[in-house]
Chain A
Amino acid sequence: MRWHAALLMVAGASAAGTMVASATPPGSVDQAVILADAMPPTLSAFGFFANAPEQVPGKGVTAYRLNSPLWSDGAEKLRFVYIPPGKQAHADGGGLLDLPVGSALIKTFAFRKDGKRKLIETRVLLHRASGWAAFPYIWNAGQTEAKLAIAGGHADVTTPAGVDIDYRIPNKNQCKECHGLSGKVTPIGPKARNLPRGWLEQMVAAGHLDRVPQGADILPMWENRAEVPARLAARAYLDANCAHCHQPNATASNSGLDLRWEQDDPEKYGVMKHPVAAGRGSGDLLYDIVPGDPDHSIIVHRMASSEPGVAMPELGKASVDGDGVAEVRKWIAEMPK
């Protein structure tokens, strides 16, 4: 059984890693664990946190937020980026920051229970020499450690909207369903246009980023959406929530639907576009988006469903994002017929 041997080797390697880590101050990232071609069995092996249960980042690890984030059943998300010392990320217009090999993106998902924050899972994206690798870690009941769960898992949680759900923690392959582009794993979130300008400036000042891109679009802050045109807030939402699959060379490329912010051909982002492989997801409707008519737009129908086979996104949601649906409805309602 080669697996067992392989797992033992991983365990052995991590024991060695722990020993090395214990010789360094707590909260110092272990670069070797990020780079090694292995699946570290515990989150603590990386040393991303000075205090992991409290989600206090360690040395060299920086917290960030997105202007318009991906919604995941209303989970509170704690996002961090690590860029190795002596290296720098490069800004490429408004697109994804080009993070050097050795970097890591860390995202913890939490829900409130009895007024207290409960960590459910932490997902890491590691930039290795061979490319990006994605691993999910699930927190134990005592909130002391998160363990690798390549087959994913689930947890009973109550969303901030008060819905009791069977929250799904994606497996390693499902990580790639959203993070896959042209067959390779890639980050989704940290696009310069979706990061606060002030944060980018701080990253430049700290030497972690080469420059703040000039002239690039800036996505609106989701919480301020009432103050910007629905067109901008809705397109930012679709970019952050849908476009990682709905773009050329990604998981939903065969649908022909392209929901990226930069797509400016209305038919490509769904206006009067027939579905291709929607099946019962079409809900007896004829077009993805009917201007002025959200009730007859498949995109709204699927966002407003939590039923597998109908619901969009297919992964990472067991309930409906009422705010997201409302904003997309508003945008479609305002479109000239």
Chain B
Amino acid sequence: MIRTLLFAGLLASAAPVFAETHRVGPGPDAQQKLQEALILAKSGDVVELAAGRYVLDDGLSLDVDGVVLRGAGADKSVLDFTHQKSAGEGLLVTSDNVTLRDFAVENPKGDGIKSKDADNIVYHAIRVEWTGGPKETNGAYGIYPVESDGVLIDGCIVSGASDAGIYVGQSNHITVRRSIAKTNVAGIEIENSRNALVSENIATHNTGGILVFDLPSLPVMGGGNVIVEKNVVKDNDTANFAPKGNIVASVRRGTGILIMANDQVLIENNAITGNATAGVMVVSYVNSFDDKRYNPYPRHVTVGGNAFEDNGTDPQIDGAPMLLKAFGGKLPPVLWDGLGDKASALYVAAGIQGWSLNLPAQGKGLADAKPAPLDVATPPAPFDRDGIGAPAALEQRIG
């Protein structure tokens, strides 16, 4: 019994007694040395990447709980996957309580860093970049935690992803904060996830800035309880370069914040400017589906006070000239497709203008749209923030 208690104490301790630091440097055998370090590390250990460029030809992976992988800085320790020959991502993490910080991943063939079933993970000051700019041949996701409970992404920068720069999927208790997503198809995407806080980020020059949605037929469903606040969502003006087949290939250039098929979402105190299609778009799932668990409509989406400017000036929507004319040269900042419960799908704070497509049915396209100014209720009650965001304990690993 005493021994059990001692072990419990050790496990709970942030800095295990026997933690060690293993230093790895660049060089011709970096692939093997680094991968060995990631395999042999014990829980609590730090694997430290010296400054330099690590030319790697295979993906890396980490499957040990409680390891810190730390570089000398996001511009100093660079994992270069330009000549990668195998694996679906640059770095794959499949263990819990891992901290990734202060290094870069460049030009992975598939995803940048994927963490799957990796609870309580911290990404801090990580850069993932496809250095050739936006291209369809770039990998899909930059930072890609999936099926995880407890995700903190802080101070990261991702550019060039042909799907989403920062993509959190099928996860719970998430914070994406103080990060920059630029020139991706989707800047930041929260998909089939719950209790996510997206705050103080900059999403710029993507096709769409910040996307929150739920898709059918996935193992984890029922996305919701999401706060998108204090972000700068500016000039998302890159032509969509996602390969078809992916849901983000349908995102229209100039989408600021997109909420699709989600429950309880707050959009507040953001600066949303220069998004040519819409500042905020609240819509139902666009395709047909066959999944009885799935609710394709937006529910209880609140657009609070935000600073809107110069959105909707060149909407990538059929009939744009007519729409622009009808609304006086630019569209109001909030767009709803008109689907879902009329009384509770969308609430918009007083003084914010919007318009509705007034679509008659889900999954049937825009052909029967009857555009009109938005007429929805103001928020009925303060948004319930309880339980939203990454566990507070993850903060201690940053600094």
Q: Looking at the assembled complex, report how far the CB atom of A288 sits from the nearest CB atom of chain B, in whole angstroms.
A: 9
From B33, B94, B167, B218, contact of A256 by CB (8 A): B218
> Which residues of B are found within 8 Å of A151, using beta-carbon distances?
31-33, 35-36, 39
User: Which stretch in A14-22, A190-198, A272-280 binds the other chain?
Assistant: A272-280
Alpha-carbon distance between A54 and B343 when the two chains are bound, in angstroms: 76
Stretch at the interface among A109-117, A164-172, A236-244: A164-172
The answer to whether A254 and B136 have CB atoms under 8 Å apart is: no
Partner-contacting stretch, out of A85-93, A99-107, A176-184: A176-184
- Mostly, the B contact residues are loop
CA–CA, A129 and B141, complex, Å: 39
User: Which of B22, B140, B146, B244 is in CB contact (< 8 Å) with A254?
Assistant: B146
The answer to whether B39 and A278 have CB atoms under 8 Å apart is no
Q: Report the separation of the CA atoms of residues A287 and B130 in the bound assembly, to the nearest whole angstrom.
A: 27
Q: Is the CB of A150 within 8 A of B246?
A: no
A282 within 8 A of B: yes
B247 partner residues in chain A, CB cutoff 8 A = 274
A262 within 8 A of B: no
Docked CA distance A153–B63 (Å): 18
Bound Cα distance from A7 to B109, whole angstroms: 34
B310 near A: Cβ within 8 Å? no
Chain A at the B interface: SS class:
loop
Q: Within 8 Å CB of B170, what residues of A?
A: 254
Residues of B within 8 A of A309 (CB): 88, 108-110, 139-140
What 1/0 mask marks residues of chain B from 265 to 284 whose CB sits below 8 Å from any chain A CB?
A: 00000000000000000000
Bound together, the chains give a CA A285 to CA B35 distance in angstroms of: 35
Stretch binding the partner chain, chosen from B79-87, B226-234, B328-336: B79-87
Q: Does A152 contact B (CB under 8 A)?
A: yes
CB–CB A280/B243 < 8 A = yes
**Bound complex: CA of A154 vs CA of B32, how far in Å?**
11
Interface residues of B in 23-37 (CB under 8 A from A): 31-33, 35-36
Alpha-carbon gap, A102 to B220, bound state (A): 37
| A44 located at the interface, meaning its Cβ lies under 8 Å from any Cβ of chain B in the complex | no
Q: Is the CB of A2 within 8 A of B18?
A: yes
CB proximity of A276 to chain B, nearest CB, Å: 6
Selected from B22, B88, B139, the residue in CB contact (under 8 A) with A3 is: B22
Decide if B58 is an interface residue (CB 8 Å cutoff): yes
Please, which residues of chain A bring their CB within 8 A of the CB of B31?
Answer: 151
B217 touches A (CB below 8 Å): yes
A153, A277, A318: the one contacting B85 at CB < 8 Å is: A318
Contact bitstring B312-325, A, C-beta under 8 A = 1, else 0: 00000000000000
Q: Is A289 an interface residue (CB 8 A)?
A: no
**Across the interface, do A173 and B39 meet the contact criterion of CB distance under 8 Å?**
yes
Report the Cα distance A53→B28, complex, angstroms: 31
B110: chain A residues within 8 A (beta carbon): 279, 281, 308-309, 314
* Structural contact, B219 and A282, CB atoms closer than 8 A: no
- Smallest CB separation, A228 vs chain B (Å): 30
Contacting residues of chain B (216-268) with chain A, CB-CB under 8 angstroms: 217-220, 243-247
In the complex, are the beta carbons of A284 and B243 less than 8 A apart? yes
A267 contacts which of B35, B39, B215, B217 (Cβ < 8 Å)? B217
Is A205 part of the binding interface, using a Cβ–Cβ cutoff of 8 Å?
no
Would B86 and A168 count as touching, CB distance under 8 A? yes
Contact of B36 among A150, A278, A282, A285 (CB under 8 A): A150
The residues of B that contact A173 with a CB separation of less than 8 Å are 35, 38-39, 61-63, 92, 94
Instruction: Answer yes or no: A283 CB below 8 A from chain B CBs.
Output: yes
Closest to A279 in B: B140
Inter-chain contact B215/A276, CB cutoff 8 Å: yes
Bound form: Cα–Cα A120–B95 in Å = 30
Q: Which of A166, A171, A277, A308 has the most CB of B within 10 A?
A: A277
Which residue of A251, A278, A314 is within 8 Å of B140 (Cβ)? A278
B137 interface residue per 8 A CB criterion: yes
Alpha-carbon gap, A54 to B94, bound state (A): 37
Q: Complex formed: what's the CA distance from A279 to B219 in Å? A: 19
Our pick among B58, B117, B162, B245 for the contact of A283 (Cβ within 8 Å) is B245
* B290 interface residue (CB < 8 Å to A): yes
Q: What residues on B are CB-neighbors of A292 within 8 Å?
A: none
With known contacts A253-B219, A275-B246, A308-B109, A152–B58 Cβ distance under 8 A: yes
CB distance from A113 to the nearest CB of B (A): 21
Interface pair A166/B85, CB less than 8 Å apart: yes
Task: Report how far A307 CA is from B136 CA in the complex, Å.
Answer: 14
Q: Is A308's CB under 8 angstroms from B287's CB?
A: no
A137-174 CB mask vs B (1 if < 8 Å, else 0) is 00000000000001111100000000000101001111
Q: Does B169 contact A (CB under 8 A)?
A: yes
Which of A152, A282, A308 has its CB near the most chain B CB atoms (within 10 A)? Answer: A308
Q: A256-B219, A307-B109 are in contact. List 10 more A-B contacts (CB 8 A).
A: A1-B20, A150-B36, A152-B35, A171-B39, A173-B39, A251-B116, A274-B245, A279-B110, A279-B141, A286-B244
A-B pairs with the 10 shortest C-beta distances?
A279-B140, A282-B245, A309-B110, A309-B109, A314-B88, A173-B61, A308-B109, A284-B244, A151-B35, A151-B36
The interface of chain B, by Cβ under 8 A from chain A, is 18, 20, 22, 31-33, 35-36, 38-40, 42, 58, 61-63, 84-88, 92, 94, 108-111, 116-117, 136-141, 144, 146-147, 162-163, 167, 169-170, 215, 217-220, 243-247, 287, 290
What are 8 A-B residue pairs whose CB atoms fall within 8 Å in the complex? Answer: A151-B35, A151-B39, A153-B32, A183-B117, A275-B245, A284-B243, A309-B108, A318-B86
